[in-house]
Amino acid sequence: MYSVFQVMDSALPDGFSGQNQVLFVLRGDGHLSIGATEFSYTSAMAFAFKGDVAPELLSGRMEVAYLVCFSDKDLEDFVLRYPLARNVAREVRPWRLNLTKERIPHLEQELGLLKMELVLGTNRERLRLLFSLLMLQLFEGEIPARGSLTGKKDLIDEFRESLERYFRLQRSTRFYARKLAVSSRRLNGLCKDWYAGKRMFEVVLERICLEAEILLLDIDIPIKAVAYELGFSSTQHFRVYFKRFRGMSPSEFRFGLEKT
C-alpha cells in the first residue's frame, strides 16, 4: 500500500525499510544526501531511492515537498501496466529526475489528492489509478539526470517518445517502425525484448487503456468523450479495445471505482 508524507518545515521523515521512495521537491533549493550520495536540488526535482536509506537535508530549504512510499509489488503493478517505464523504474540506486516546471501545479494537486484519498480510505482500484497518474507524471519527463547518461538516445527511448506523442492517433506497427527506421518485423522483435514478450500492438494497446483508466477517474467526463479523446471513431470501438485489455467494459470499470 502507498504512503504519502508532506514535508513540513524541511523536516524529512526517516526511511521506510523495504519500501521504494520518491521525494518530490516542488519548490525549494539546497543540498541533501541519500545514503552515501549527495545531491544539489532546486525546484521541480524528484529523487528516487530504496527505503534502506534515509534522505538527510544538508543545507537549504524545502518549501513544498512530498515523500511517496510504495512496495515492490506496487511498482511492478505499475510497470506491467505501463511497460515504457520499465528500464527507469527498476533502478535501485539513488537517482535524480528533472521535472517539467509547468507541471508543478498539477503535481502538487495530484500529490495532495493521493494523500487525502489515503486518509479517506478510498478503494484500492482508485488509489492504484491515482498512483499510476503520479508515476506517469514522474516518468514522462526527461530521462533521469544521472552521470552515466551520455546524451545519446537509445532505440527504446526513441520508441517511447514516438509512442507518447502519437498513441492517440497511430496504432500501426508500420508507422512506428518508420519513425525508428526499422522494419515492422524488427520492431515487433524489439518490443518483445523490451516488454516481456509483448508485440508492438499490445504495447500501444496497454498505453491507450492506461490513459483511458486515468480519464475514467473523472466520472463527470462522458465515456463517449473519453473514446473521442483517445482517437476512437465510436464508443463501441473503444469498448472493444478496453474490454480486451481490462476484461470489463468502461462503464463496468467506472462502476467499480464508485463502489467503496
Q: Which amino acid is at 160?
A: R
Look at residue 14 and tell me if it is in a domain.
yes
176 and 238 inside one domain: yes
Count: domains in the chain? 2
Each residue's pLDDT, cut to its tens digit, for the chain (260 residues) gives 678 888 876 677 665 555 788 899 999 999 998 888 889 999 999 988 877 777 889 999 999 999 998 888 888 778 776 665 665 565 545 678 888 787 788 888 889 888 888 887 767 777 887 888 788 777 764 433 333 333 335 788 788 888 888 998 898 999 999 999 999 999 999 998 888 788 999 889 888 888 888 888 778 889 999 999 898 989 999 999 898 888 889 998 887 766 54
Residue 68 CA to residue 21 CA, distance in Å, equals 6
SS3 sequence of 31-91: EEEECCEEEEECCCEEEEEECCCCEEEEEEEEEEEEEEEECHHHHHHHHHHCHHHHHHHCC
192 and 135 inside one domain: no
Q: What pLDDT, on the 0 to 100 scale, is given for residue 103?
A: 79
Look at residue 160 and tell me if it is in a domain.
yes
32 and 112 inside one domain: yes
Look at residue 168 and tell me if it is in a domain.
yes
Look at residue 210 and tell me if it is in a domain.
yes
Q: What pLDDT, on the 0 to 100 scale, is given for residue 146?
A: 36
Q: What pLDDT, on the 0 to 100 scale, is given for residue 41?
A: 93
Look at residue 144 and tell me if it is in a domain.
no
69 and 100 inside one domain: yes
120 and 162 inside one domain: no
134 and 169 inside one domain: no
Of the residues 79, 113, 139, which one is the last residue of a structural domain? 139
Q: What pLDDT, on the 0 to 100 scale, is given for residue 187?
A: 93
Q: What pLDDT, on the 0 to 100 scale, is given for residue 122?
A: 65
Of the residues 105, 139, 173, which one is the last residue of a structural domain? 139
Residue 8 CA to residue 122 CA, distance in Å, equals 24
pTM: 0.59
38 and 160 inside one domain: no
DSSP string spanning 140-153?
SSSPP--TT--SPP
120 and 166 inside one domain: no
With left for phi above 0 and alpha for psi between -120 and 50, is residue 32 left, alpha or beta?
A: beta
CATH of the domain at 166: 1.10.10.60
Which range of residues forms the domain containing residue 164? Answer: 155-258
Look at residue 150 and tell me if it is in a domain.
no
89 and 201 inside one domain: no
106 and 189 inside one domain: no
CATH of the domain at 36: 2.60.120
Look at residue 149 and tell me if it is in a domain.
no
Q: What pLDDT, on the 0 to 100 scale, is given for residue 107?
A: 86
Look at residue 207 and tell me if it is in a domain.
yes
108 and 10 inside one domain: yes
